[in-house]
């Protein structure tokens, strides 16, 4: 097992290296332009202000030169005080300008981050279920939090100061060459090795930065799953194994972060050491030339002050490049999600043309429907194979089959949570692939096998399935049908917050609220995936009695595992191996179909004896 894991990690590192080599950080960051464009004027003004502030700082060495060669040499106290006042004013101006730059970028960049986060969330809602089946929730969460924070920091600091520092270094070098070109060339000596180091650093750091951000996503997934599954972890005493898994991921991330730190320390060592050696050499040569009278003391002071003023712009190159690479990786990760194709409002033209062929019938009809999951291995049998099924208008049909026969998949095709691979589905004669998804989902209401609730009130959870103008009457009716009147007895009634995933409620209570959400909008078509599985016998009987009135007014497809649920339906369809193998009433299939009788055996025998 360790060998397999090591091999997988090596393969992942190779893929990361190939991806980093083929990626241009500048080209990747340019994809942020649509978000930056609305605030480009303010960011440009902020950059200009920062350049002015930096250049103001370079004037200070020139004032020092004037003071040393003038008032100090001439022993002029008034001139010294005047020079000191100039230095004070220049320092204040530099500080105020940098503060102004910070104020200019704070609000617009917070808006850019909020806009990108809103677009990401909106896009996630429009992506197909197949996408969410593939992606870990922690990876998506890290893209909407950590990655966007890195992008905001990049736009606020490195983006501006890469330009500011480049201008500052250029102006500073020109000033030093004007002061004394010999000393200036000595200072320029480390430029070539520093540039070569930066290029090598950028390629290596890009790979490690991507790996670290992906590992943060993996760690986020483990934390989220541990919190949501805390009952399972405690119930099975698996807290130690979960803690071990978390420690392993944390240790892996720690190693990657240390790798980043080592790369950063290496480039800082080169960037800091070489310029310092050059400044030391310039100081020695300058002192010798001052002693020989070939250079004034003021010029040497101004030259060295300018060189020291350029230390921060030069020293920060490694830090700014690291932040830029992390921002490029964050941009890449963000657009990996944004580039995913969202659900289209209609199907391809070929599907539409097929839908127009032949006669169509009312109700819910599956026409030779085949479905294969997009990530299924080649050559495997489809999950659903040429399903042909007709639920007449106003009819309720139970869908029965062994585990894995494709029942839940078939129900997911009706609201187009998945797209049929071939064939078509019609509602009252209209191909669902020709309907806008919003219109389709206004006609079809669904209660899933897993009753998911949100961190909202009971009323808000139920009314998610209703029209926008629905109110208390619709809510009370739905709660009564689902036998969920317990909601009125909660501390704040239907205004009670149910908590994350509704875990503050029992499984049966959650299922009843999910059923209430499905029926509150009086849908024309109702799809129920084993809606009564978590209910006790007495509650189930009461829900069934109320649900019969709802089913009389709608066309329904009900996934059933128990005879009591099957008896809600007018007819039953048996799904076996992805195909509908029998259709009839419950009693007909019980007499004529051995597989159906086997599925209904156990409790069914007792019910028949009681009759």
521-547 pLDDT per residue, tens: 888 888 888 777 767 777 777 777 777
- Lowest average pLDDT, out of 158-172, 357-371, 476-490, goes to 357-371
pLDDT level of residue 334 (50, 70, 90 thresholds): very high
Q: Is residue 95 part of a domain?
A: yes
529 and 472 inside one domain: yes
Res 154 pLDDT > 60: yes
Domain of residue 205 covers 26-338
Res 230 pLDDT > 50: yes
Q: Is residue 20 part of a domain?
A: no
In percent, the amount of the chain with pLDDT more than 70 equals 90
* CATH at 486: 3.40.50.300
Q: What is the pLDDT of residue 345?
A: 53
Q: Is residue 456 part of a domain?
A: yes
- Lowest average pLDDT, out of 66-75, 177-186, 486-495, goes to 66-75
285 and 431 inside one domain: no
Q: Is residue 351 part of a domain?
A: no
Q: What is the pLDDT of residue 170?
A: 87
Q: Is residue 310 part of a domain?
A: yes
Does the pTM exceed 0.75? no
pLDDT level of residue 223 (50, 70, 90 thresholds): confident
Residue 99 CA, distance from chain mean position: 33
Q: Is residue 52 part of a domain?
A: yes
Res 398 pLDDT > 60: yes
320 and 398 inside one domain: no
* CATH at 281: 1.20.1560.10
497 and 563 inside one domain: yes
115 and 236 inside one domain: yes
Is residue 58 within a helix (H) or strand (E), and if so which, with residue range? helix 40-67
Task: Write phi, then psi, for 389 (nearest 5 degrees).
Answer: -150, 140
Q: What is the pLDDT of residue 502?
A: 65
Query: Residue 550 half-sphere exposure, CB side, CA atoms within 13 Å?
Result: 30
pLDDT level of residue 344 (50, 70, 90 thresholds): low
Q: What is the pLDDT of residue 361?
A: 57
Res 39 pLDDT > 60: yes
Q: Is residue 19 part of a domain?
A: no
Number of H helices, E strands in the chain: 27, 10
393 and 288 inside one domain: no
197: number of Cβ within 10 Å? 19
Q: Is residue 109 part of a domain?
A: yes
212 and 260 inside one domain: yes
Residue 452 in tokens: 């998911």
**3-state SS of 517-561?**
HHHCCCCCEEEEECCCCCCCHHHHHHHHHHHHHHHCCCEEEEECC
C-alpha distances in Å from residue 426, one per residue of 361, 368, 386, 398, 409: 8, 11, 15, 18, 17
**CA–CA separation, 485 vs 458, rounded Å?**
11
89 and 127 inside one domain: yes
513 and 476 inside one domain: yes
100 and 165 inside one domain: yes
Is residue 71 within 8 Å of residue 80, measured between CB atoms?
yes
532 and 449 inside one domain: yes
Among the listed residues 178, 160, 225, 181, the one whose alpha carbon sits nearest the alpha carbon of residue 58:
178
The total domain count for the chain is 2
298 and 368 inside one domain: no
Q: What is the pLDDT of residue 603?
A: 45
């Amino acid at each position: 097992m360790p060998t397999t894991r090591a091999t997988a990690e090596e393969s992942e590192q190779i893929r990361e290296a190939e991806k980093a080599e083929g990626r241009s950080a500048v080209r990747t960051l340019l994809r942020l332009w649509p978000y930056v464009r609305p605030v480009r004027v303010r960011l440009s003004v902020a950059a200009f202000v920062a350049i002015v502030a930096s250049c103001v700082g370079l004037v200070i060495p020139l004032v020092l030169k004037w003071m040393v060669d003038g008032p100090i040499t001439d022993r002029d106290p008034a001139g010294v005080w005047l020079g000191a006042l100039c230095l004070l004013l220049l320092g204040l101006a530099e500080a105020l300008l940098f503060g102004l730059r910070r104020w200019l970028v704070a609000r617009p960049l917070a808006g850019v981050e909020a806009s990108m986060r809103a677009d990401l969330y909106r896009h996630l809602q429009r992506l197909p279920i197949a996408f969410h089946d593939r992606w870990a929730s922690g990876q998506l969460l890290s893209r909407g939090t950590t990655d966007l924070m890195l992008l905001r920091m990049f736009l606020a600091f490195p983006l501006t100061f890469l330009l500011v520092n480049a201008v500052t270094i250029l102006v500073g070098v020109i000033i030093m060459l004007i002061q004394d070109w010999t000393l200036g060339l000595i200072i320029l000596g480390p430029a070539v090795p520093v540039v070569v180091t930066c290029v090598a650093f950028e390629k290596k750091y890009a790979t490690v930065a991507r790996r670290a951000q992906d590992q943060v996503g993996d760690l986020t997934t483990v934390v989220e799953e541990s919190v949501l599954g805390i009952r399972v972890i405690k119930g099975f005493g698996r807290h130690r194994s979960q803690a071990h898994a978390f420690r392993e991921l944390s240790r892996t991330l720690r190693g990657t972060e240390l790798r980043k730190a080592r790369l950063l320390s290496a480039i800082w060592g080169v960037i800091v050491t070489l310029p310092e050696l050059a400044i030391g050499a310039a100081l020695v040569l300058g002192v010798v030339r001052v002693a020989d009278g070939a250079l004034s003391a003021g010029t040497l002071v101004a030259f060295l002050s300018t060189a020291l003023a350029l230390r921060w712009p030069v020293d920060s190159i490694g830090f700014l490049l690291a932040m830029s690479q992390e921002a490029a990786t964050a941009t890449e990760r963000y657009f990996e999600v944004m580039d995913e194709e969202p659900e289209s409002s209609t199907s391809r033209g070929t599907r539409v043309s097929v839908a127009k062929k032949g006669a169509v019938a009312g109700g819910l009809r599956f026409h030779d429907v085949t479905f294969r999951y997009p990530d299924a291995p080649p050559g495997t049998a489809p999950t659903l194979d040429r399903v042909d099924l007709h639920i007449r208008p106003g009819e309720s049909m139970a869908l029965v089959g062994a585990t894995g026969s494709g029942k839940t998949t078939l129900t997911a095709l009706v609201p187009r949570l998945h797209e049929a691979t071939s064939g078509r589905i019609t509602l009252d004669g209209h191909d669902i692939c020709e309907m806008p998804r919003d219109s389709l989902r206004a006609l079809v209401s669904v209660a899933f096998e897993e009753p998911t609730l949100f961190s909202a009130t009971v009323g808000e959870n139920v009314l998610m399935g209703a029209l926008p103008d629905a109110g208390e009457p619709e809510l009370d009716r739905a709660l009564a049908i689902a036998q969920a009147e317990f909601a009125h007895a909660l501390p704040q009634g239907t205004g009670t917050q149910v908590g994350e995933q509704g875990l503050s409620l029992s499984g049966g209570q959650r299922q009843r609220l999910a059923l209430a959400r499905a029926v509150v909008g009086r849908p024309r078509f109702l799809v129920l995936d084993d809606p009564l599985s978590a209910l006790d016998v007495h509650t189930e009987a009461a829900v069934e009695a109320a649900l019969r009135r709802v089913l009389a007014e709608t066309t329904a497809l009900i996934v059933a595992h128990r005879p009591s649920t099957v008896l809600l339906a007018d007819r039953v369809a048996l799904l076996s191996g992805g195909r509908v193998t029998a259709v009839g009433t419950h009693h007909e299939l019980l007499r004529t179909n051995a597989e159906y009788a086997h599925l209904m055996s156990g409790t069914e025998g007792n019910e028949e004896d009681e009759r």
